[in-house]
Structure 1
Amino acid sequence: MIPQHIETHPALDRPVEEGRPARPGLDKAVFGVTAALAVAFLVWGFVSTDSLASASSDALTWVMTNTGWLFVLTTSSFVVFVLWLALGKYGRIPLGRDDDEPEFRTISWIAMMFSAGMGIGLMFYGVSEPLTFFTTPPPGTGEAGNPEAAQTALATTMFHWTLHPWAIYAVVGLSIAYGVYRKGRVQLVSAAFEPLLGRHARGKGGKVIDMLAIFATLFGSAASLGLGAIQIRSGLEIVAGIGPVGNGVLVGIIAVLTVAFVLSAVSGVAKGIQWLSNINMVLAVALALFVFVVGPTVFILNLVPTSIGSYVGDLPMMAARTGAEGAETQEWLQSWTVFYWAWWVSWTPFVGMFLARISRGRTIRQFVTGVLLVPSAVSLLWFCVFGGTAIDLQDSGIDVFGDGAAESQLFSTLDQFPLATVASVVVMVLVAIFFVSGADAVSIVMGTLSEGGTTEPRRPTVVFWGVATGAVAAVMLLVGGDDALTGLQTITIVAALPFVVVMIGLAVSLVKDLSTDPLVVRRQYAVEAVESAVVAGVTEHGDDFVLSTEKDPEAAPDPAPRTASGTVADPARTPGA
């Protein structure tokens, strides 16, 4: 057994216990403040929607004018940051003990990341985003109908859905996984700030960080649920033939799905929801295969490598695009790139915790490789299948773009193929289940943040945040008026701004943590010791020497016998023979 003074040496791996809340139960400060502000927002939204819409519009103008560059710069920096972690000296560090094996087999790990990469967003934008960029190309990329419009449309879509968002998620996922499994901290965003804030990470400063994480999650997840409600409404209009309906139906759809979530939460049918979610994955894959087979298969296959090439070639230009290029670009960024970066940032507490939970035992290099490549590949294939099919139809003279309403374009595309009604119903079922299971998952994360990092928050807390998420989604839709999507985008961007600053702090804190990791310290010891020993050995014995270790004669005597596993080479005194 290694003595205590050796066990705590910074070069040695130390056993850790899973972190638990210092005070189990509801954190009254974190929950009380965030819940009160959420309720105040809801009251404001329902009582005076117009004034909230005006205030959010003014806030968006300020954010875009003064901090749009911050979203653009930090998001690209996170891509470079996680690649630097994976490819550099920190890549070998495990998210757990030195001898921990991965908790899940690689195939299961990949499958779970695949499920994280699918959701309402891909259903909503799978057709509309590539088709929109094809018919109205992004600023500076040429006129509509130019020969490269299709690959530019897919490259821009990939820019929004592949490396950049998953690098954002990786920063939070790595910070939480390293802290929980390597350091024994609790599952809180604030806990990852201990290297920077010390004990203050468990005080008022930490509580503020967790509050910001809850707000980001609340508004980001509400935006996703709002998109789902918009798409279900469009499906009902088309499939049921009821004609255009107003935002009242949207609120009704959200209310029904929120009730479904609450029933699942209070009745303990979480396993049933998980079962439905697995079915959802199968339905999503089946839908994609159906469109791939009945759609323009060869065109889709050609689009995959072409899109990758265009994405790689255009990446520097897309990553550097800011409002400095003019009012047209500023408006475009607000509707697309900056909205996406804000949306991804607001999802990081949820997705980051999920990725951390499934990645124990993986090295940082394995984590970054899997998190960046697997979901990116899924998104690439999804958009090439659905977006490529819509682009081919539009280019052949079939107007699936219509009046530009994003929520109806998937249904318009499916309407051109056999079993259109069945496929449209499948889409609505997919979105509905994504809504219920998504509300379940994000409300658990907000419950965890509200109860000091517990892995199993109490049911009332989970239900409260689930209902609040649905209600916030309804308010965000109402704020947009006739253009409900605008309300979602506006409030998401404004709400995500504070958490961008939190994520910058997370990255700095993580590097400070990793710089003192036992694996890094051991490597420093090893390099210094071996260099010294080799010089001594060659000087005294030429090529005929071996390396060994011995006790430093000037060191204090051990309080207990030391085993071989406890010896440490002294760089200054390692013998050469």
Structure 2
Amino acid sequence: MSIHPPVTELNITVEKKGFYQGFNSMVTLGSKFIIILLVLWAAVFSDQAGALLKKMQGWSFESFGAWYIYAMAFYVIACLGLAIHPSLGKTKLGDPGEKPEFSTFSWIAMMFGAGMGIGMLTFSTAEPIYHFASNPDTIMGLVAPKSEETLRSVYKWSFFHWGLSAWGCYAIVGLALSFFTYNRKLPLTIRSGLTPLFGKKLEGPLGNIVDISAVVATILGVAVTIGYGITQFASGMHTVFGADWMINAQGSPTNAAMIIGLVIIMAASILSAASGVGKGIKWLSNLNMFLSFALLIFFMIFGSPLVAIKSLALGMWDYLINFPIQGLTYWASSDVEPAATLYKWQSIWWTVFYWAWWIAFAPFVGLFFARISKGRSIREYVMGTMIIPAIMCFLWFTVVGGTAIDLELSGQAGGTILGAGQEAQLFATLKVILSSGVAKAVTAMVVFLLMTYLITSADSAVLIINTINSGGDESQKEKTHIIFWGTIITVLIATLLLAGGLAAIKSAMLVGALPFSLIMVLMGIALFKALIRDALRARQGGKIVPVGTDTTTARAAVKASVSEE
């Protein structure tokens, strides 16, 4: 039985003239309508918006917590399975013999900066410190909290949140888009990743809905990331300059400080986005990586290197042997302890929130990964997008977070790190190990690094949004469109901050992530279907659609009627 040829053409309608020339007006206007409606709602009915978003967050946690857990497990299994497979892992993402566009260093630097850079500066200290006081092992009474024996459980859970699951979430989107764009010659947009399942139906309303959901999820995911980054940015600026108006009575950054920081960051990101991937974004990503290594070396010298080395080795071992259980365990809502606290820890405070965050960030990061990964094999891609960045995260958590925990265990910190807000815990750690003047200087470097990470994430997001809106066209867009999306992201974050602070942004993101989590599962299934059918075609002696040919030539080569996979 012969296998029909794959879809190698997806006609996405774009405007031929006018303001939206080159853009799909349905996707662009649909995305704008949803985001502008959210902005107006949050601005005009701020109290009601904050309250409703909080209720929706609780509903999504309780109703779809298990879905998030198992969906994330699927993404990891899919990526690792393809990489490990002897023949599929060798599949080139692009034309045979094609060379990668970027050096390996720049490639990894751009991926790390776009994927996790901001979160690392906040959570490499904040998460280990939190888990030092409370994690599932302490909740179940397996280890005592805030003690030396807690250390192994701290990293078992920290690595779980920032390891293969997080990066696998990004990788599955980028891998699907890379294959269908560079091997099938389909547009570089989210709907292309579903062609083996829905075929030509994706040219119409179904494809528009897929791309709109990707744009909305991207904007809300970036809003959370920048929201976290801005709070730490404002906290660091207060540490450096000591301006009282930047911090409120509770020790958290004021709205005024965060709004000013937001405007500065977004203005710089718009300028960077206007210069394109090969210039501003690449340059900033390389700078980020150098500064990150400098900060890491600083903590290795002045921090607690022995604790870091021990925690890294034991943490990776504990993570690897416990990962299958961690990745598939879901604690349902309960009124009985410890199940009640375990549910809150997993679904409200940590794991499910993280999974939704990574999923909301995935269309942006995944498409960006695809944009910069042409010419690499599937195995090389998975190594570069999952394994190496995960190890980088582990290093950060053990070197920086391990120093903070060691200072608390030894009594040097005296509870100052544990008592600080999560946005200020890195700076509190620097204050303990350094003199006042040196601490300010290093804090200034961290603030600058945070600023460059924020700019990199924001400008990359703007470019990706325009790529999706234009049906996968990667060419540089008119600056008007770059300025619009940069501005709308700024206004969205500002209004949500004023409506309910970071909690309101997080709640909005959770709602936006849900539909895209299903699209990601379908993308994984579609990729497996495409690769398996290619293998079957080859086994039957048929021709796989020639890479690098146009659609007419490809269809003539297989000499078969046009149909979906």
Normalising by structure 2, what TM-score?
Answer: 0.85
Q: Look up the match of 2:343.
A: 330
- Structure 2: segments with no counterpart, 5+ residues: 17-21, 249-253, 334-338, 543-556, 558-565
Q: CA deviation at 1:249?
A: 2.2
What residue is the counterpart of 2:473 in the other structure? Answer: 454
Q: Residues 148-205 of structure 1, C-alpha deviation per residue, up to 9 Å, x if partnerless?
A: 3112111211101110011111111111000111100001101121111111111110
Shift of 1:124: 1.1
**Inter-partner Cα distance in structure 2 for 1:272 and 1:249:** 26
d(CA) in 2 for partners of 1:236 and 1:102?
39
Which residue number in structure 2 is paired with residue 284 of structure 1? Answer: 292
The equivalent residue for 1:545 is none
Cα 1:523–1:71, aligned 2, differ >3 Å: closer, same or farther?
A: same
What TM-score, normalized by structure 1, do the two folds share? 0.83
Contact 2:114–2:456 (8 Å) recurs in 1: no
Q: In the alignment, what sits opposite 2:144? A: 143
2:491 is aligned to 471
Per the alignment, do residues 90 and 524 of structure 1 end up closer, same or farther by CA in structure 2, a change over 3 Å counting? Answer: farther
Asked if the contact 1:96–1:181 (Cα under 8 Å) also holds between the matched residues in 2, the reply is yes
Aligned to 2:464: 445
Q: Is there any run of 5+ residues in structure 1 with no aligned partner, and where? A: 1-8, 527-565, 567-577
User: For the structure 1 residues 119 and 301, does the alpha-carbon distance in structure 2 shift closer, same or farther, using more than 3 Å as the test?
Assistant: same
Paired amino acid for 1:515:
I
Q: Is the 8 A contact 2:14 2:24 kept in 1?
A: no
Q: Residue 116 of structure 1: CA displacement?
A: 4.1
Deviation of 1:462 (Å): 1.9
Aligned to 1:125: 123
CA distance in 2, matches of 1:223, 1:109: 24
For residue 416 of structure 1, give the secondary structure of its aligned residue in structure 2: helix
**Which of these two proteins has the greater Rg computed from alpha carbons?**
1
Partner of 1:363: 377
Closer/same/farther in 2, CA of residues 303 and 187 from structure 1, 3 Å limit: same
| Residues 428 and 101 (structure 1), Cα distance of their counterparts in 2 relative to 1, 3 Å cut | closer
Retained in 2: the 8 A contact 1:132–1:401?
no
Query: Which residue of structure 2 lines up, in the alignment, with residue 198 of structure 1?
Result: 199
Residues 171 and 366 in structure 2, CA contact (< 8 A), matched pair in contact too: yes
The structure showing larger relative contact order (alpha-carbon pairs under 8 Å, at least 6 residues apart) is 2
- Please state whether the residue corresponding to 1:91 is helix, strand or coil: helix
Change (3 A) 1:186 1:391: same
Residues 197 and 485 (structure 1 numbering): CA distance in 2 closer, same or farther, change over 3 Å? Answer: same
* Counterpart amino acid of residue 494 in structure 1: V
The 5 Å alignment of 1:298-337 reads 298-324=306-332, 326-333=339-346, 334-337=348-351
What amino acid maps onto 1:342 in structure 2? A
Could you tell me which residue of structure 2 aligns to residue 554 of structure 1?
Answer: none
Distance 1:104 1:274 in 2: 9
Q: CA deviation at 1:91?
A: 2.2
Q: 1:346 to 1:13 in 2, by over 3 A?
A: closer
The aligned residue for residue 95 of structure 2 is: 97
Offset at residue 222 of structure 1 (A): 0.8
- Cα gap change, 1:80 to 1:272, in 2 (>3 Å): closer
Pairing 1:35–2:32 present: yes
CA gap of 1:11–1:496, structure 2 versus 1, over 3 A, is closer
Contact 2:110/2:285 (<8 A) preserved:
no
Query: What RMSD over aligned residues (CA atoms) do the two structures have, in Å?
Result: 2.8
SS at match of 1:401: helix
**Cα offsets for 1:350-405 (capped at 9, x unmatched):** 21122212322322222223322110111111111111111101111112434351
Letter paired with 2:175:
L
The match for 2:537 is 521
C-alpha displacement of 1:123:
0.8
CA distance in 1, matches of 2:282, 2:239: 29
1:212, distance to aligned residue in structure 2 (A): 0.2
The equivalent residue for 2:426 is 410
- Deviation, structure 1 residue 439: 1.3
